[in-house]
Amino acid sequence: MRTPLDHFLLTSFALCGLLRLARFNITTDSVPKDANGKAKYFEGLPTPTSLGIVSLISYWVSQGWIHDQIPFGVFAEGSILEFHPAALIFVAHGCLMISKTFHVPKP
Ligand SMILES: *[C@@H]1O[C@H](CO)[C@@H](O)[C@H](O)[C@H]1NC(C)=O
C-alpha cells in the first residue's frame, strides 16, 4: 500500500489514533461513571483494538497475500487516484476511534 493516496489514508489513521488519545486525556472526567467511579463506556473504539488489524494483516502475510495479492486489489490503477481498498479498513477503524457517538461498554 504505497501509492500517494494510500499514504494519505494510512496517515489519517495514525492521526485518528493521536486524536483519540488526546481526546481521551481531556474528556475522561466527563464520561458517565458507575457507583465505583469507573467509566461506563469507551467513547470511540479504544486504540489498542488496532491490534485486530495487525492480526488481520499478519494473516494476509502468512498466506502470501502481499504486493500484487493484497485482498481487494487496487483501485484506479495507473491513475493519480490509485489506491488499495484494503487501506479503507484503516480509515473505518480511524473513524470509529474518533467517533463521539460510538460507545463501547467497559467490561
Ligand atoms: C493528560 O495529560 C497530562 C499531561 O501529560 C497528564 O498529566 C494527565 O494525567 C493526563 N490525563 C489523563 C486522564 O490521562
Give yes or no for residue 49 having a pLDDT over 90: yes
Give yes or no for residue 29 having a pLDDT over 90: no
Expressed as residue numbers, the domain containing 38 is 4-105
C-alpha angle 21/87/105, rounded to 5°?
Answer: 40
Give yes or no for residue 97 having a pLDDT over 90: yes
Q: Where are the beta strands (DSSP E) in the chain?
A: 41-43, 103-105
Q: How far is the CA of 26 from the centre of ligand 1 (A)?
A: 8
Q: What is the sign, positive or negative, of the torsion defined by CA atoms of 12, 93, 54, 9?
A: negative
Q: How far is the CA of 17 from the centre of ligand 1 (A)?
A: 16
- What grid cell was written down for 105? 461498554
Q: What mean pLDDT is predicted for residues 72-93? A: 97
Mutational pocket test of ligand 1: of 20, 23, 25, 27, the residue with most ligand atoms within 8 Å of the beta carbon: 25
Amino acid at 81: L
Cβ–ligand 1 distance for 25 under 6 Å, the answer yes
Give yes or no for residue 28 having a pLDDT over 90: no
Cβ partners under 8 Å of residue 100, min gap 6? 43, 44
Say if CB 91 and CB 13 are below 8 A apart. yes
The count of domains in the chain is 1
Give the residue, by CA position, lying nearest to ligand 1 atom 12. Answer: 25
C-alpha angle 19/25/27, rounded to 5°?
Answer: 95
| pTM reported for the whole predicted model | 0.88
Cβ–ligand 1 distance for 28 under 6 Å, the answer yes
